[in-house]
Amino acid sequence: MTSKDLPDMEYERFWRRLQQLGLNAYEARSYLVLAGHPRFKALELAARAHVPRQKIYEVLDSLVEKGFAQVIQERTKLFSAVEPSLAIPSYLERREQALKQEVTDQARLAYGLIEDLKSAYSEGQGGRGTLDYLSIVGDTGQTATHYRRMLAEVQHDYLEFSRPPYAVDPLDEQLVKKACQRGVGCRLLFEAGSLDSEHLARIGDFIGLGVQVREFDNLPMKLALFDARRGMIALLDPVITKPTWTTVLFDHEGLAEAMKGLFENYWNRSEAQKTSVPS
């Protein structure tokens, strides 16, 4: 199989798809040539695949390492393609393992770096600025991190207006149960119709631990409030076509008091969730 064996469009398609898998341009071209012939000497392959002679051994070594080519030892070293149904799955499996290991290593380094940089960051801020009690977060992952940190640190009460889509689904979050178990007063007000059968099945466990759960027809926003002092408000962007939530984080007693008043207003007008408590 070479560029002469295939129509140009077909060759181009195979060549690009191999690159999407992770081969470079020279490797993809060389594998296509090898796949269409029994075996090649390195310099013969270089001419057929239009790879510079000085690069062909590096390309072949890489193809052998990635499992796309194999060496046949005769009087001179020859190279042949590994059958695609063996080469590609094996290559993807090795690549997946390598990526997992890379992510694990990066996570370990990242958490160590966070601890090392905390003190430097605190010192560098030099005290609170005029709006340090407010911050805006647009990234869902960062919102989830802030939410979990505040939930882990809450001491007295935790209140939430909950409606999808979730950065963190409170009914999936073990930290809610842990907060309740250490004596925190937890109240969750869900928007009516947002609880599917899977959520309803979990609510019984939460109620059994002492979490209070109610429903209201239409909640104005997403809100999580911790110890009547800090929390987060998520607002739906009314302008853009694709619905996007922007989260405002706050650490301000006055704002927290106002948000608690809003919560109590809706809570008092809501209905208790009718899920039975497990015996």
pTM: predicted TM-score of the whole model, two decimal places? 0.53
Name the nearest CA neighbour of 36 among 21, 54, 23, 48: 48
In this prediction, what percent of the chain has a pLDDT beyond 70?
A: 81
13-22, 139-148, 194-203: least confident range: 194-203
Predicted confidence (pLDDT) per residue in 100-136, tens digit = 888 888 887 777 777 667 666 666 655 555 456 778 8
CB 5 within 8 A of CB 37: no
**Given a cut of 50, is residue 277 above it in pLDDT?**
no
CA distance linking residue 158 with residue 230, whole number of Å: 10
Helix (H) / strand (E) containing 196? none
Residue with token string 């290559």: 91
pLDDT at 176: 84
Output the pLDDT for position 156.
Answer: 92
E strand or H helix at 272, and its extent? strand 271-272
Q: Which of 228, 173, 231 is nearest to 206 (CA)?
A: 173
Is there a cis peptide before residue 278, judged by omega within 30 degrees of 0? no
Provide the 10 A C-beta neighbour count for residue 180. Answer: 18
Q: How far apart are CA 221 and CA 106, in angstroms?
A: 36
pLDDT tens digits, 61-89 = 999 999 999 998 767 788 888 988 898 98
Domains along the chain with CATH numbers: 8-85 (1.10.10.10), 134-272 (3.30.870.10)
Query: What distance in Å separates the CA atoms of residue 173 and residue 183, rounded to the nearest whole number?
Result: 17
Cβ 163 vs Cβ 222: under 8 Å: yes
pLDDT average, residue stretch 90-104: 87
